[in-house]
Structure 1
Amino acid sequence: MRNKYVGQSMKRVDAVEKVTGKAKYVTDLFFPGMLYAAVLRSPIPHGVIKKLDVSKAREFPGVRAVVTHKECPARQGIYLVDRPIFAEDRVRYVGEPIAAVAADTWEIAQKAIELIEVEFEELPAIQDPLEAIKGETLIHPKLAEYERLPIYNIEPERNVFHHHKTIKGDLEKGFEEADLIIENEFSLPQMYHAPLEPHGAIAQWDVDDKLTVWSSAQSPYTLRNLIAKAFDLPRNKVRVIAPYVGGGFGGKAGINMEGIAIALAREVKGRPVKLIYTREEDIIATVVRQGMYAKVKSGVKKDGTITAWKVEMYFDGGAYAEYGTNVVRAAGYTAPGPYYVPNLRVDSYGVYTNHFVGGAFRGFGHGELHWPTERQMDLIAQALGMDPLELRLKNILRPGLTNSMGQVIHEHNGNLEACLKKAAELIEYHKPSEQPSDPRKKRGKGIAALEKAPAMPTNAGSSVIIKFNEDATVTLQVSIQEIGQGFNTAITQMAADALHISPDKIHVVMPVDTDANPYEWQTVASRALWTVGNALYRAAEDALNQIKNIASQVLGVAPYNLEVEDDRVYVKYKPELYIPLTDIVMGYTYPDGHAIGGPVIGRGSFVPELLTNLDLETGQGNVAAEWTFGAEAAEVEVDTETGEIRVLSLVGVFDPGRVVNPQIAEGQVIGGMVQGMGPAIMEGVMYDEKGRPLNINFTDYKIPTIADAPEKLIADFVETPEATSSFGVRGVAEHPMISIPPAIAQAIYNAIGVNIYELPITPDRVLKALKEKEGSKA
């Protein structure tokens, strides 16, 4: 395979559509006879529904359907089926759907919602996973009855929807061998995805029971599967069409609000029902990143060698586990991140609370995991009087060592040492920060490492179809969703190299349509270029073999003596003997009119090889297909009078194998690092003492803007080709935001000498830490 286009910064194939407004999103779609939906939601975090009267709403002029749990008793969930589409007998979080209305206009639907009468008996709201796990109040008394995959451990009597265990070596022996034992506790709150486009769906249930759903979905085939299960439909009766998605970050994976529109559409067969969330609804009623509390105990030698590591992680999974079960598992089997630990114990608990529903978020548990891991590494370095970078380099996973699951690291898995050293070089780590003239302001630098593998089932498959057209252009059918990450551009470049044609001859079909496009597991886990790339390579080989087999009959040479290049098929040892591709791709027609071959359609499928489930008691196994390692660094300025933090520089260095499109990869890294500033210094869902959310709009919920972005943003790469990829690639989409918070925390310590254990690192927390530091001196 040639390498002409992979590695080049080609212009995005969707650029013109998006900058001109031609690109269509769900909210842009309108159909004849369409109805508009609104939802009645719980105003309390926990309670029993004592009365629900929808009669006045049903009678309101312009209302066509009203649905509650009585009409739609379905539950949904990808790993644990615990989430009802409408609350049954109790509500478990503020924002839970109780009823929905479809009406001629959105305004009518909204007025009808206000006519629904509902009364509650309030129950205590459980907000802290450490309290919830005591089991004094059960949020899901029927947890043991819910359908779930067998790879998850529930503990119904403790509100635990999954308990993941990783055990390696002899923990007690490891601590006995240590010269120093360090214990710390860390925490972080839930976090909102903040996509530009809120969730939206349109459902049309035809009279022949064919259901079509247009959705802002990251994973159309998974959505189809979950809809079919929830509504007891055969898969061929469910069609999901997913146009462009305006940002997902994991929040649009799986199934969210589509069931509400579907339930209404079933009541008004033939008429489309459109449900578009407001920003407030998008925050409270979809999913958020889980909060987490961690206890870490580490044993180390005086020279910095880690001998033992014990970590307990308690994830605030919110009211329903659903997708969050696998987040808990992924963090559990990855701990303690990119370091070799011979003696390890990890207990990762997913715990129900009466907070918003926790789910997939960019990083998928790794942002949560790396906060306590990397902070603990800094605190170990401080206790030993050792440089934090030196400590990391001493303990990183290297070829020949085993990770937490017992997998052996190989050379082709990536080069974390090179990433750390390059990040240190780019931030000028060993050069002290230049201090400002204002004595109240102090500057410092920090560095952190990271790793992440795709968190996916062992059989997460991909498929690709390549169709040649009459003029030898190509229609490429895949089902990875373009959510802004640049997949359609990168896969075009890869297809151009695999097929030996120009990228401008390739068209990636949009929107993704499960009735037409080939199967794809999900657009998650930073796996697309790796897994779809392998399927693409096989599809390209299939198409090229068909072309060569036809041409060999015409040219009278063996197929292996033919090459495809520059729109023609030629004989390798006699290039002047060739046939134009246009004469081959629909089959070859001889001068007398008889034809051979036929339209060339390449097909390729891929499923990860040699993966196994993990042992439920030890967490040992081979569940990670490939790893991407990286390092991030930060320089900050802290105002010791106000506690304000200004991020001056961010650096991200990653080893994603071969970089397909440097410009897009750089954009991913820079965007991810800025997004990582959010949980570091400003973002977090807040609740009052009764469990009611306090910041459910962009006035109160702060996210990084261009005004917060540092002046210096540097993205760089180390390229160690991945042996399990036909193109040598690994993912780099989620990784850039993972270790920004600990890098910033270390920079703050180096600036003002205080350690922060809780995210976000707000001015109040900085001032409190400074006050405690001064108090300890006194």
Structure 2
Amino acid sequence: KYRIPHIQHVPIEPHVAVAQVEDSGGITLWGSSQSPFAQRNLIAQALGISQSEMRVIAPYVGGGFGSKAGVSMESLAVAIATKVKGRPVKLLLTREEEFFTAFVRQGLIAYFKMGCDGDGNLLAMENKFYWDAGAYTEYGVNITRASGYSSTGPYEVPNVKTDSYCVYTNHPVGGPMRGFGMPEMHAGLEQCIDELAQQIGMDQVEFRRINCLKEGSILVTGSKMHPIGLSQCLEKTAEAIGWGQKAEPSAPNKRRGKGLALMWKAPAMPPNAGSSAWVELAEDGRVTVGVGGQDLGQGAFTVVAQMAAGALGVPYEWVHVATPVDTRYSPYEWQTVASRLTWSMGNAVVNAAKDARQQILEMSAEAWDEDLENLDILNGMVVSYKSEREMPLKDIVIYGLPKPDDQGWIGGPVIGRGKFMPDYVTGLDPETGQGERAVVHYTTGAQAVELEVDLDTGQIEILRAAAAFDVGKAINPDMVLTQIEGGFVQGMSSALFESLILKDGYVQNPSFVDYRIATSSDIPESIQAMFVEVPQDDGPWGARGVGEHPMVPTIPAIANAIYDAVGVRFAGPPFTAEKVYLTMLEAGIVK
């Protein structure tokens, strides 16, 4: 049994919204939002107006981690604005109000029961989850469902029984947070995997090596696993942390340990969550890309520009992403959640760039009287491999080209359009829980830590960390590595420090004085971030998302390392110095 506490998202920018109702009846909302199109739709429905009368403008967001998905306090600003037409109404939450009123990560009580044969092959698993949704269910049911179809973790288990419940309580409202239920679920599951391996006398890495998912593995939903590099992630991480090599502690009063955990996560979303994009070229050949997804600091717009440049055939420096996201002018995007933008919005961007490219090449082929297959766009130039003729885009994309007989012109302004929706996703049978392809794909990975426990104080110091994730294709390798590093730090914060203290449903620690988060002084000297590239069949250049995933395995990796160091386990995080010391005292490890 494991109990995972509520935690707050604590983005550096709190929730803020400005709303204004025009004399015409139209409403404009400016907000720090991950979901401008969802807000347009839901608020319009609530007010009984058409979506075309509701406009949402979403500038760059100063962090969200899920707390700014969907609709929360923004609707209040709109409601007040309807009473003072023509005047803007601004609502900005203080940090204390963030703790009291914004979404929190749901609490979880989880039960795991699993068994294997003498050779270490997993045979059965029985799980039961109770998700603390709070007083209302915003995303609670969706997280409950996601934990059900991912309940085995990244392992092939032939016999599985899982019950996942969403429970109303008098606690703060549970919402989506980075990992969408997977950090909470893996926290207990990966500790049980360690315990089971130890019970049969098998090395924990070897146990995972035997049971982790490979291409063709049968998942709990009955579908087959697509090609993945989880085994490579495990090997890279174990090697990087020096698995099996025991180092001496830095002082006589300290004990050193290593821990490792695997993870998997699929984008949790409806099967018809779509993306769209447009690509427009200007007189100078420069490119503007329109998207409806949001940049929360994860670098989404950088990747959009890279993909548009690569698909169109122009330098990256030529590409500009239209901002802010504006539901009146930006193309539709479901939401910026689920680590789906590089994959879903990326597909739409690539399709839009290819559409623009096709228009340019068809125009050039007709004007030059050449076969289309002989033409290409390279570094902003249309080139012919046959005639070796070339022409810059700026001479083509607005005014077109003269016909071969010079009797008129062809072409005109080039605007490419693209969309993407995963129409191959199937549902789950309500009786059996089986489906051919219940999710679009899974991102998998491994994470390990080496730490020291101070026997005198219970203080934990993370000495180093290593992590590897299969990203399909790293569109921007540097940004992938920094996502892995940042996700580890946020996961470490939730493992060692963070917990909402509740009394009668009321938050008792609504400030950074009493709600501790990791700072730069807590970060280990070494975080070795790595990635594996096994292409995803439905991703742009094989890419899949990795934004949330580095936070998923951190709690169990640290918990397993603590056990390796001092031989104690806990019902749940945070693993504070006080909790660690008292647990060691109770176990007789210290006196």
Question: Is 1:524 equivalent to 2:524 in the alignment?
Answer: no
Question: Is 1:682 equivalent to 2:494 in the alignment?
Answer: no
d(CA) in 1 for partners of 2:507 and 2:368? 73
Write the mapping of 1:538-549 to structure 2, written as runs, cut at 5 A.
538-549=351-362
User: What do the CA deviations read for 1:142-183 (whole angstroms, capped 9, x no partner)?
Assistant: xxxxxxxxxxxxxxxxxxxxxxxxxxxxxxxxxxxxxxxxxx
Kept in 1: contact 2:495–2:575 (CA 8 A): yes
Task: Name 1:459's counterpart in structure 2.
Answer: 272
d(CA) in 2 for partners of 1:686 and 1:566? 57
Decide which of 130, 137, 141 is 1:314's aligned counterpart. Answer: 130
Q: CA deviation at 1:495?
A: 1.1
The letter for the 1-side match of 2:334 is W
Decide which of 304, 317, 325 is 1:504's aligned counterpart. Answer: 317
Task: Name 2:430's counterpart in structure 1.
Answer: 616
- 1:574 alignment partner, SS class: coil
Q: CA deviation at 1:574?
A: 2.2
Question: Is 1:748 equivalent to 2:562 in the alignment?
Answer: yes
Q: CA deviation at 1:566?
A: 2.6
Write the mapping of 1:300-311 to structure 2, written as runs, cut at 5 A.
300-311=116-127
Task: Name 1:342's counterpart in structure 2.
Answer: 158
- 1:221 alignment partner, SS class: helix
Q: CA deviation at 1:593?
A: 8.7
Task: Name 1:587's counterpart in structure 2.
Answer: 399
Decide which of 455, 465, 478 is 2:291's aligned counterpart. Answer: 478
Kept in 2: contact 1:587–1:600 (CA 8 A): no
Decide which of 703, 706, 712 is 2:517's aligned counterpart. Answer: 703
The letter for the 1-side match of 2:297 is G
Decide which of 219, 231, 235 is 2:47's aligned counterpart. Answer: 231
Decide which of 539, 543, 563 is 1:725's aligned counterpart. Answer: 539
d(CA) in 1 for partners of 2:477 and 2:539? 18
Kept in 2: contact 1:534–1:727 (CA 8 A): no
User: What do the CA deviations read for 1:443-470 (whole angstroms, capped 9, x no partner)?
Assistant: 1111100011100110110011000111
d(CA) in 2 for partners of 1:590 and 1:399? 53
Task: Name 2:367's counterpart in structure 1.
Answer: 554
d(CA) in 2 for partners of 1:475 and 1:533? 15
Task: Name 2:71's counterpart in structure 1.
Answer: 255
Task: Name 1:493's counterpart in structure 2.
Answer: 306
Kept in 2: contact 1:193–1:251 (CA 8 A): yes
Structure 1 stretch 304-313 or stretch 614-623: which is displaced more? 614-623
- 1:397 alignment partner, SS class: coil
Task: Name 1:391's counterpart in structure 2.
Answer: 207
Q: CA deviation at 1:594?
A: 3.5
Question: Is 1:628 equivalent to 2:443 in the alignment?
Answer: yes
d(CA) in 1 for partners of 2:173 and 2:540? 38
d(CA) in 2 for partners of 1:703 and 1:719? 32
The letter for the 2-side match of 1:597 is G
The letter for the 2-side match of 1:208 is S
User: What do the CA deviations read for 1:286-318 (whole angstroms, capped 9, x no partner)?
Assistant: 100000001111121122211110000101111
d(CA) in 2 for partners of 1:646 and 1:552? 65
User: What do the CA deviations read for 1:427-486 (whole angstroms, capped 9, x no partner)?
Assistant: 1112112222x3221111111000111001101100110001111111100011010001
User: What do the CA deviations read for 1:571-613 (whole angstroms, capped 9, x no partner)?
Assistant: 22222x1232112101325397943211000001110131012
Q: CA deviation at 1:570?
A: 2.0
Decide which of 247, 251, 272 is 2:88's aligned counterpart. Answer: 272
The letter for the 2-side match of 1:256 is S
Q: CA deviation at 1:410?
A: 2.7
- 2:115 alignment partner, SS class: strand
Kept in 2: contact 1:550–1:587 (CA 8 A): no
Kept in 2: contact 1:533–1:727 (CA 8 A): no
Question: Is 1:578 equivalent to 2:394 in the alignment?
Answer: no
Q: CA deviation at 1:768?
A: 2.8
- 2:6 alignment partner, SS class: coil
Q: CA deviation at 1:408?
A: 0.2
Task: Name 1:135's counterpart in structure 2.
Answer: none
Decide which of 405, 410, 413 is 2:221's aligned counterpart. Answer: 405
- 2:234 alignment partner, SS class: helix
d(CA) in 1 for partners of 2:542 and 2:438? 20
d(CA) in 2 for partners of 1:536 and 1:572? 27
Kept in 1: contact 2:2–2:571 (CA 8 A): yes
Decide which of 645, 663, 669 is 2:460's aligned counterpart. Answer: 645
Aligned length: 588
Task: Name 2:421's counterpart in structure 1.
Answer: 607
The letter for the 1-side match of 2:383 is Y
The structure with the larger Rg is: 1
Decide which of 188, 197, 211 is 1:372's aligned counterpart. Answer: 188
Kept in 1: contact 2:257–2:563 (CA 8 A): yes
The letter for the 1-side match of 2:580 is V
Moved segments of 4+, more than 3 Å: 589-594
d(CA) in 2 for partners of 1:332 and 1:589? 57
Kept in 2: contact 1:451–1:628 (CA 8 A): yes
- 1:385 alignment partner, SS class: coil
d(CA) in 2 for partners of 1:616 and 1:228? 32
Kept in 1: contact 2:80–2:89 (CA 8 A): yes
Q: What is the TM-score normalised by the length of structure 2?
A: 0.97
Task: Name 1:763's counterpart in structure 2.
Answer: 577
Decide which of 308, 325, 328 is 2:141's aligned counterpart. Answer: 325
- 2:382 alignment partner, SS class: strand
The letter for the 1-side match of 2:319 is I
Decide which of 285, 288, 291 is 2:107's aligned counterpart. Answer: 291
Kept in 2: contact 1:675–1:737 (CA 8 A): yes
Q: What is the TM-score normalised by the length of structure 1?
A: 0.74
Structure 1 stretch 555-564 or stretch 235-244: which is displaced more? 555-564
d(CA) in 2 for partners of 1:403 and 1:386? 24
Structure 1 stretch 614-623 or stretch 197-206: which is displaced more? 614-623
- 2:501 alignment partner, SS class: coil
Structure 1 stretch 440-449 or stretch 579-588: which is displaced more? 579-588
Q: CA deviation at 1:739?
A: 0.6
CA RMSD of aligned residues (A): 1.5
Task: Name 1:738's counterpart in structure 2.
Answer: 552
Question: Is 1:668 equivalent to 2:483 in the alignment?
Answer: yes
Structure 1 stretch 245-254 or stretch 532-541: which is displaced more? 532-541
d(CA) in 1 for partners of 2:222 and 2:112? 21
The letter for the 2-side match of 1:579 is M
Q: CA deviation at 1:617?
A: 2.9
d(CA) in 1 for partners of 2:167 and 2:411? 59
Which stretches in structure 1 are left out of the alignment for 5+ residues? 1-184
Q: Alignment identity in percent?
A: 46
d(CA) in 1 for partners of 2:484 and 2:316? 24
Q: CA deviation at 1:714?
A: 1.0
The letter for the 2-side match of 1:668 is Q
Kept in 1: contact 2:135–2:169 (CA 8 A): yes
The letter for the 2-side match of 1:365 is G
Task: Name 1:659's counterpart in structure 2.
Answer: 474
The letter for the 2-side match of 1:357 is V
d(CA) in 2 for partners of 1:400 and 1:693? 46
d(CA) in 1 for partners of 2:569 and 2:491? 19
d(CA) in 2 for partners of 1:251 and 1:593? 59
Q: CA deviation at 1:403?
A: 1.0
User: What do the CA deviations read for 1:695-717 (whole angstroms, capped 9, x no partner)?
Assistant: 10111100000011111111001
d(CA) in 2 for partners of 1:482 and 1:726? 19
Change (3 A) 1:542 1:676: same
Which stretches in structure 2 are left out of the alignment for 5+ residues? none
Decide which of 199, 207, 229 is 2:15's aligned counterpart. Answer: 199
User: What do the CA deviations read for 1:716-758 (whole angstroms, capped 9, x no partner)?
Assistant: 0111111212311011100011111100011111111112231
d(CA) in 2 for partners of 1:693 and 1:514? 35
Q: CA deviation at 1:371?
A: 0.7
Structure 1 stretch 584-593 or stretch 360-369: which is displaced more? 584-593
- 1:213 alignment partner, SS class: strand
